[in-house]
């Protein structure tokens, strides 16, 4: 599923897939009565603004069979904008940088692989620095 989504992202207008992290097997957060997930992060170069990019990502999810039912529930695919350069956007359905990313190992571990020098525009921390602040006994993320 992730590989298919990455191909489709690379096919978006004026968009190039620059790098992709290794895949990680991660435990669910929130709704825990479900299997573990596979997560990855990708850096893209795009001329699309954040809103059209989000709309395109949601379209890819739908085309792959994603039906949004319950927050943090089981899903086939989940595509998010983690950051968009140093942009800060706070709209009801678009928050950039991604909300709570600094508390989620399943986001930070792959992000540290592909964007180690990026700094969160509000926190001033790199993905690795945010990852180091997480408790040792928290969410598990294992590189595949």
Give the model confidence (pLDDT) of 100-124 as tens digits: 999 999 999 999 999 999 999 999 9
CATH of the domain at 85: 3.30.70.560
Contacts of 131 (CB under 8 A, 6+ apart): 105, 108, 109, 112
More confident residue, 8 or 1: 8
Beta-bridged to residue 15, according to DSSP, are 46
Active site residues: 66, 75, 78, 80
**pTM of the predicted model, to two decimals?**
0.89
* Number of domains the chain is built from: 1
Closest alpha carbon to 41 in 119, 101, 120 = 101
Tokens of 124: 């001033």
Identify the domain containing residue 115 by its residue range: 2-143
């Amino acid at each position: 599923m992730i590989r298919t989504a990455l191909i489709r992202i690379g096919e978006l207008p004026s968009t190039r897939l620059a790098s992709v992290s290794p895949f990680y097997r991660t435990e669910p957060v929130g709704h825990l009565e479900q299997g573990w997930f596979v997560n990855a992060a990708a850096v893209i170069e795009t001329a699309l603004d954040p809103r059209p990019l989000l709309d395109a990502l949601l379209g890819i999810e739908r085309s792959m069979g994603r039906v949004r039912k319950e927050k943090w529930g089981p899903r086939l695919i989940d595509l998010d904008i983690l950051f968009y350069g140093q942009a800060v956007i706070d709209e009801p359905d678009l928050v950039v940088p991604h909300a709570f990313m600094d508390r989620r190992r399943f986001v930070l571990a792959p992000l540290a692989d592909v964007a180690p020098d990026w700094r969160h525009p509000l926190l001033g921390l790199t993905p690795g620095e945010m990852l180091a602040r997480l408790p040792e006994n928290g969410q598990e993320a294992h590189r595949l």
